[in-house]
Amino acid sequence: MLDVGRHPNIELMAYTHVERGEGQSGDFTVTVRRKARYVEEDRCTGCGACAEKCPTVVSDAFNEGLGTRRAIYSWFAQGIPSTHTIDPDHCRQLNGKKCGVCKKTCQADAINFDQEDRVVELHVGAIIAATGYEVFDPSIIPEYQYKEIANVVTALEFERLLSASGPTGGHLDRPSDLAIEADIEALEKKAKRSQRALDKFEEKYDEASPEFYEKYQNGEYGHDEDRKKWASKYGAHMAIAEPLEALRRRAEGFAVAKRLAFIQCVGSRDFRFYPFCSSYCCMHSIKEAIIAHEHEPETTSTIFGMDIRAVGKGFEEYKVRGGNKSAITYVRGRVAEITEAPDHNPVIWYEDTCERRVKSQEFDMVVLATACAPGKGIKELTQVLGIKINEFGFLKTNPSQPLDTTRPGIFTCGCAYGPMDIPESVAQASGAAARVAQILSEFEMRKAS
């Protein structure tokens, strides 16, 4: 990534949309919109001081919504470019409220609330569409209850939980526990505020609130207005403090997830959604189980699948090693349903297709190996570029020229073409680059002859 940012021949335009494409192979004109970041790219040093001070908290999409960021943010800590961006949907200042805290903080004078989009016209000989994929949304499978059961997560969410730079610092804290911890934090803030109100009365009358309240209830203070106020404040405080205490007691029992289940082919090889195999998900489930076991040696994992597709150099060995050294059990079976037991434990109901019996098993967390779905903006992009998609929504190519789209001069590689892992994406990317070099040199030679 760093090399792209530094390469003298590569102009990097992030936070940019492709709006129009015209012309033909060898001579395209493409119009792109460089969206306003409200931060000057040539001034921002990426120091992050602004984000520390920004008061507006927003759900963090890079962490799949498992953590938060501020309205001024970097996509992720090591991102290239490291330029910060103001999110216009959430920034107070850009929504007409008083703020500008980031501008006051920034020593580089990089923040510019008046920045506007810039429309740029590019003249290019060839185009490579490497727009990737989207994670299949499992909430449309009702029997897996992805939205309803907190501890059922997608594999990409699980990657963020495993990551040392992720929202939990690499600990497998369960989403149900994280939600309760967030509630505790919010209640603690409220309790602090209501305690301050009580402090004033306690000082004034030199008496602790609980003792006062008991006497008040016994009618010792009659109809004294001030004490009536105190009593009502105390009631309000207890309405916060009691549930807070209960939650705190519950949180004492929280532990990281150690019994993991992985469900394969969620949205893949399923005629209701995508009939194809997404090719990389068997491998990433094994990988995630191995890493979880590295973090916490007591962790056990069960991978439920029709079969494990470990197709690649060294992949089968990786699978076997995972079973032997990382406490992974492979179960040949189809998961019919996930339900929730007490303590937010998901329960998997499945058919063991070897024993031909329906069974169930309880886990701490369930990870869904979701399908590789076509990118969200792919339709718009194909309209802009005048290229076609195939029956599943990936870019259409032809088997004898697999990297050529339906329009000469426009090529594709990686998951925009279809599901594939990183080594394959890299190989295709080099292939697409070679195709570009080939057609451009053909033009060159024709011109010379």
Partner 1 sequence: MNKEILVIGGGIAGIQSSLDLGEMGFKVHMVERLPSIGGKMAQLDKTFPTNDCAI
Ligand X SMILES: Cc1cc2nc3c(=O)[nH]c(=O)nc-3n(C[C@H](O)[C@H](O)[C@H](O)COP(=O)(O)OP(=O)(O)OC[C@H]3O[C@@H](n4cnc5c(N)ncnc54)[C@H](O)[C@@H]3O)c2cc1C
Beta bridge partners of 362: 347
- As measured in angstroms, the least distance from the Cβ of 44 to ligand X is 20
Distance, first Cα to last Cα, the chain: 39
Amino acid at 419: P
- As measured in angstroms, the least distance from the Cβ of 247 to ligand X is 32
Q: Hey, how many other C-beta atoms are within 10 angstroms of the C-beta on 76?
A: 15
CB closer to ligand X out of 60 and 421:
421
Which residues, 111 to 130, sit near ligand SF4 by CB under 6 A?
111
Which residues, 165 to 224, sit near ligand SF4 by CB under 6 A?
none
Which residues, 302 to 361, sit near ligand SF4 by CB under 6 A?
305, 309
Contacts of 176 (CB under 8 A, 6+ apart): 150, 151, 344
CB closer to ligand X out of 240 and 367:
367
The interface mask with ligand SF4, positions 361-400, x = CB under 6 A, is: --------x-------------------------------
CB closer to ligand SF4 out of 158 and 213:
158
CB closer to partner 1 out of 80 and 241:
80
127 counts as binding ligand X under rule CB under 6 A: no
CB closer to ligand X out of 12 and 255:
12
Question: DSSP character for 1?
Answer: -
The interface mask with ligand X, positions 339-368, x = CB under 6 A, is: ------------------------------
Give the distance from CA 241 to its chain's centroid: 34
The continuous run of DSSP H or E covering 245 comes out as: helix 225-252
- As measured in angstroms, the least distance from the Cβ of 283 to partner 1 is 5
64 counts as binding ligand X under rule CB under 6 A: no
Residue from 51, 108, 122, 130 binding ligand X (CB under 6 A): 130
Give the distance from CA 425 to its chain's centroid: 21
The interface mask with ligand SF4, positions 61-90, x = CB under 6 A, is: -----------------------x------
The interface mask with ligand X, positions 420-439, x = CB under 6 A, is: xxxx-x--------------
Question: DSSP character for 341?
Answer: E
By the 8 A CB rule, do 20 and 38 touch? no
> By CB under 6 A, which span of 40-48, 128-136, 191-199, 393-401 interacts with ligand X?
128-136
By the 8 A CB rule, do 32 and 120 touch? yes
Residue 280's alpha-carbon distances to 74, 264, 372, 408, 414, in angstroms, are 29, 11, 9, 30, 13
Residue from 101, 381, 385, 410 binding ligand X (CB under 6 A): 381
Residue from 167, 414, 418, 436 binding ligand X (CB under 6 A): 414
Q: Token pair of 278, please?
A: 């997404």
Beta bridge partners of 135: 372
By the 8 A CB rule, do 258 and 364 touch? yes
Q: How far apart are CA 73 and CA 71, in angstroms?
A: 6
CB closer to ligand X out of 145 and 370:
370
Residue from 93, 279, 382, 397 binding ligand SF4 (CB under 6 A): 279
Residue from 60, 87, 159, 364 binding ligand X (CB under 6 A): 159
- As measured in angstroms, the least distance from the Cβ of 364 to ligand X is 19
By the 8 A CB rule, do 159 and 63 touch? no
Q: Token pair of 285, please?
A: 């489930």
Residue 158's alpha-carbon distances to 7, 21, 154, 345, in angstroms, are 33, 38, 6, 16
- As measured in angstroms, the least distance from the Cβ of 52 to ligand SF4 is 9
Q: How far apart are CA 103 and CA 236, in angstroms?
A: 39
66 counts as binding ligand X under rule CB under 6 A: no
155 counts as binding ligand X under rule CB under 6 A: yes
Count the residues in the chain: 449
Q: How far apart are CA 404 and CA 126, in angstroms?
A: 11
Q: How far apart are CA 124 and CA 310, in angstroms?
A: 40
- As measured in angstroms, the least distance from the Cβ of 79 to ligand X is 11
Residue nearest to ligand X (CB): 132
87 counts as binding ligand X under rule CB under 6 A: no
269 counts as binding ligand SF4 under rule CB under 6 A: yes
Q: Token pair of 311, please?
A: 């197709």
Q: Which does 13 bind (CB under 5 to 8 A by kind): partner 1, ligand X, ligand SF4, none?
A: partner 1
256 counts as binding ligand SF4 under rule CB under 6 A: no
Question: DSSP character for 143?
Answer: G
- Which residues make up the interface to ligand SF4 (CB under 6 A)? 39, 44-50, 84, 105-106, 108, 110-111, 264-265, 268-269, 277-279, 281-282, 305, 309, 369
